[in-house]
Amino acid sequence: MIESTFTPLSGAVGGALIGIASVLLLLANGRIAGVSGIVSGLLIRTPGDVAWRAAFVIGLWIGAAIYWLVRGELFAVTVTASLPTTLVAGLLVGFGTRLAGGCTSGHGICGIARLSKRSIAATIVFIAAAMLTVFVARNVAG
């Protein structure tokens, strides 16, 4: 049996912070807060386009550090998959974000907020693929 903790307050606060950060990035820089695109832009450098991307990624780490300092502990996460399975899953996620032209943050948060048909379709595919993967992993693959 899988345990879950329903935390609507922290979810609402986290969602609001993500929304505010996305709007601020769009207003200040004219950029969509899609993390896969931001990180890939660090790997394929364009002159004059690295500083804000680096600041965004560093800000993600700083946010996690602030959470750790305030909360006094990190998230309790247990990965039950093997290292090879985790590596293959990560590569598939990376491939999927390139295939879809963005990730869940770019399409699911920013794209849907802008009523982008492409982002709505991509997010539906993301969710359907995740549901199918969980079903297969739990019921077929064991």
Average pLDDT, the chain: 85
Q: Say if 2 falls within a structural domain.
A: no
Q: Say if 1 falls within a structural domain.
A: no
Q: Say if 13 falls within a structural domain.
A: yes
pLDDT in tens, 9-40: 888 988 898 889 888 988 988 888 888 888 88
Give the DSSP per-residue string, 27-69.
HHHS----HHHHHHHHHS--TT-SHHHHHHHHHHHHHHHHHHH
Q: Say if 3 falls within a structural domain.
A: no
Range(s) of the domain holding residue 101? 8-140
Kindly give the interhelix angle for 117-135 and 83-100, rounded to the nearest 10 degrees.
Answer: 160
Asked if the model's pLDDT at residue 3 lies above 70, the reply is no
Number of domains making up the chain = 1
Q: Say if 134 falls within a structural domain.
A: yes
pLDDT in tens, 94-108: 888 888 888 887 888
User: Cβ atoms within 10 A of the Cβ of 13, count?
Assistant: 11
Global pTM? 0.71
